[in-house]
Amino acid sequence: MSLVRRKAIYAVAQKHNLAIIEDDPYYFLQLPEFVATSATSTAAAADGTTSTTTNASAAVCNRPQILVPSLLSMDIDGRVIRLDSFSKILAPNLRCGWITAPRYILDKIQILNETTTLQPSGVSQGLISKMLNDVWGMDGWNAHLQELRSVYTRRRNIFIQMVEKHLAGLVEYSVPMAGMFVWMKINFGAAAADQTAMPRLLDAMKKCGVMMAPGMPFSSNGLSPSDHYLRAAFALVDVDMFEPALARLAQAITGISGRVPAASSDAVKASLIVPTSTSLAAVNSSG
């Protein structure tokens, strides 16, 4: 979310005296602009098997100033409750994070915790504490986050290029500027009105070994099961599996829609779909 939009949201909250819950687990995964990246020369770096950063976007993402200021940072009234998570930036499924809020709110949350979940997992807390305090320290933590942004930037760029190569015209998508997911809307063409198109596609994907999350469960406004969205994660799968998986997805879509991919262009053209929040968040790993 841009700084302009964040400021506008904060202004609305001020005007109507609203509290804001800033649930922002992808904050530290903000990524620079997309630039075409050579898949062959960067596969190892994208997998994190080397920390060498050779392309411009990776260098840019190492600058701390690419992080758009949080709503919390502009809060002058004590109306922002900020939620961060280690699940996306340290290890998936830690299910542990931190809350930044005015003291009187934290006290209430503490009581709520004690009377409901008791605590996030003690094992997760112990691991995180050990890593941050005794192993990495602040410098190590910052270096880890920068490395993560570099790796995800390369992965995102390669994934987008493969989408453009194999799915041009078959999907609409937006280039994510944070996080680890690419949202795609399937263009079923004449089959778009067919309520069975999406279930058949999900079935075909299962058969050809492509796993992405259907969009419907993420909707807060009751989209129907046939809504044609998929969420792909580029964080986990080997980079060299992107291309064969997306080629199989293209075949699956063609099998249902009868449409074939358009000739891919050299420059990636992101045809933007409805704005999705980075908080809409999983191909097979959600963190």
Ligand X SMILES: Cc1ncc(COP(=O)(O)O)c(C=O)c1O
Residues forming the site for ligand X (CB under 6 A): 23, 25, 85, 87, 95, 97, 279, 281, 286-287
Nearer to ligand X, 85 or 276 (CB): 85
Pairwise CA distance, residues 127 & 132, whole Å:
9
- Least distance to ligand X from the beta carbon of 95, Å? 5
In the numeric block, the tokens 């063409």 are attached to 189
Nearer to ligand X, 174 or 254 (CB): 174
Q: Which two tokens stand for residue 255?
A: 């099998």
Q: Which two tokens stand for residue 131?
A: 């890593």
- Least distance to ligand X from the beta carbon of 24, Å? 7
Pairwise CA distance, residues 127 & 38, whole Å:
36
Query: How many Cβ atoms from other residues are within 10 Å of residue 115's Cβ?
Result: 8
Write out the DSSP string of 23-54.
E-TTGGGB--------HHHHHHHHTTS-----
- Cβ–Cβ under 8 Å, residues 100 and 82: yes
| Alpha-carbon torsion angle 49, 52, 58, 62, nearest 10 | 100
Q: Which two tokens stand for residue 120?
A: 């996030």
- Least distance to ligand X from the beta carbon of 191, Å? 31
Nearer to ligand X, 14 or 285 (CB): 285
Nearer to ligand X, 30 or 85 (CB): 85
Among 25, 89, 51, 35, which Cα is nearest to 278's?
25
- Least distance to ligand X from the beta carbon of 91, Å? 10
Nearer to ligand X, 43 or 236 (CB): 236
Nearer to ligand X, 51 or 98 (CB): 98
Is residue 114 within a helix (H) or strand (E), and if so which, with residue range?
A: helix 103-115
Nearer to ligand X, 128 or 170 (CB): 128
- Least distance to ligand X from the beta carbon of 280, Å? 8
- Least distance to ligand X from the beta carbon of 282, Å? 8
Pairwise CA distance, residues 283 & 259, whole Å:
23
Nearer to ligand X, 226 or 279 (CB): 279
Pairwise CA distance, residues 204 & 212, whole Å:
12
- Least distance to ligand X from the beta carbon of 258, Å? 35
- Least distance to ligand X from the beta carbon of 19, Å? 17
E strands present in 55-103 = 80-85, 97-100
